[in-house]
Amino acid sequence: MDSLQDLVDHCWQTVRTAPPDGRQVSYIPALARVPADQLGIAVAGVDGSMVTAGDSSTPFSLQSISKLFALCEALSAGPEQLWARLDKEPSGDRFDSLMLLEHEAGRPRNPFINAGALLVTDHLRTVRGDAAEVVLELVRREAGNAGIAVDEEVAASERAMSHRNAALAHYMASCGTVDPDVPAVLDQYTRMCAVAASCEDMAKAALFLARAGQGVDGPVLSAAETRRVNALMLTCGLYDAAGDFAYRVGLPGKSGVGGGVLAVVPGQCVVAVWSPRLDARGNSVGGVRLLEELVRHTDWSVF
Ligand code: DON
């Protein structure tokens, strides 16, 4: 293939011609209405380049991808305070599982499962202010797109059905690990998850993770902290499919039930893919397949 554009077009076409199976989540009704057969990819290079194919400029619901930006903001406000409250281990369990939390006295395994992200939301409320606003500010600035916003319909749709997350947050509050104002934590968490942005926005917004923490106007994180975030993405970013993703793609990644997946190629680029159909673990079938295809033709895997 002559150029990265040719390669991206080829990989997009390959996945496009074998449409993925899978379906959208039903517990966020507004997401179930998104047309399922869309497929987008954007590759943002550390040199400022941008290569795209398909539905790369269509906004999608970030969902758990927002947890990555929330984590970065919480770390930039002081990693010790945050790590005093949660762990860094893969859970090997569903992203919304209640089981481990009881075993571990309300201390979440990692910041990407829902329990951990609810705790990060609570932490941000204390150290920075409204978590959804903090995430919005970061992604708008890094993507250079002031139009990125919360999709209030998606937020309301999830909030009305957030019984599982409420159970997680109430359990943590009962253990004293999360603030007792659970409704406030849930409101900010669901609005943060409902931020809508395109693959192009996402690839640019996360580019600091491929650039040793360097954002558009200065460091978002230190180089050491950036390495650690990438390590957490690799081990925990795709929940109980983190092993499969490491095997097939071999890059730090973060998925969301909106169908997006971000993958970081340290020192080179960030790839954002989006395709709404999900597998049983809540990860984009077409998105992961597209990343797998791309890595098969490049030396991008970290292994
Ligand atoms: O809290 C939830 O269940 C959703 N707002 C986010 C879950 C999610 O995106 C899991 N990722 N694949």
pLDDT reading at 89 higher than 80? yes
Mean pLDDT of 127-146: 97
Burial class (CB in 10 A: 0-12, 13-18, 19+), 42: buried
Q: Cα dist. 161→81, 165, 186, 302 in Å?
A: 31, 9, 11, 38
Return the residue whose CA atom lies nearest to atom 1 of ligand 1. Answer: 114
Atom of ligand 1 nearest to the CA of 238: 12
Return the residue whose CA atom lies nearest to atom 4 of ligand 1. Answer: 63
For ligand 1, the distance from its centroid to the CA atom of residue 112, given in whole angstroms, is 9
How many Å is the Cα radius of gyration of the chain?
Answer: 18
The pLDDT assigned to 26 comes to: 87
Asked if residues 76 and 92 have their Cβ atoms less than 8 Å apart, the reply is no
Q: How far is CA 15 from the centre of its chain?
A: 22
pLDDT reading at 5 higher than 90? yes
Asked if residues 42 and 59 have their Cβ atoms less than 8 Å apart, the reply is no
The pLDDT assigned to 6 comes to: 98
Asked if residues 114 and 94 have their Cβ atoms less than 8 Å apart, the reply is no
From 26, 63, 135, the mutation candidate for ligand 1 (largest count of ligand atoms within 8 A of CB) is 63
Q: Identify the active-site residue in 56, 64, 66, 162.
A: 64
Token pair of 295, please?
Answer: 């890595």
Ligand 1 pocket by C-beta < 6 Å: which residues? 63-64, 95-96, 114, 158, 165, 193, 255-257, 282-283
Asked if residues 195 and 132 have their Cβ atoms less than 8 Å apart, the reply is yes
Active site residue 254: no
pLDDT reading at 19 higher than 90? no
The pLDDT assigned to 1 comes to: 73
Q: Identify the active-site residue in 66, 178, 189, 285.
A: 189
Average pLDDT for the chain:
96
**How far is Cα 142 from Cα 127, in angstroms, rounded to an integer?**
21
pLDDT reading at 119 higher than 80? yes
**How far is Cα 274 from Cα 197, in angstroms, rounded to an integer?**
11
Q: How confident is the model at residue 261 (pLDDT cuts 50, 70, 90)?
A: very high
Mean pLDDT of 128-142: 97
Mean pLDDT of 131-143: 98
From 24, 60, 96, 168, the mutation candidate for ligand 1 (largest count of ligand atoms within 8 A of CB) is 96
Active site residue 88: no
- Give the tens place of pLDDT for each residue, 26-79: 899 999 999 999 999 999 999 999 999 999 999 999 999 999 999 999 999 999
- Give the tens place of pLDDT for each residue, 142-181: 999 999 999 999 999 999 999 999 999 999 999 999 999 9
- Give the tens place of pLDDT for each residue, 204-237: 999 999 999 999 999 999 999 999 999 999 999 9
The pLDDT assigned to 2 comes to: 85
3-state secondary structure of 271: strand
pTM of the model: 0.98
**Number of alpha carbons in the 13 Å side-chain half-sphere of residue 131:** 29
3-state secondary structure of 144: coil
Active site residue 247: no
pLDDT reading at 20 higher than 90? no
Mean pLDDT of 15-28: 88
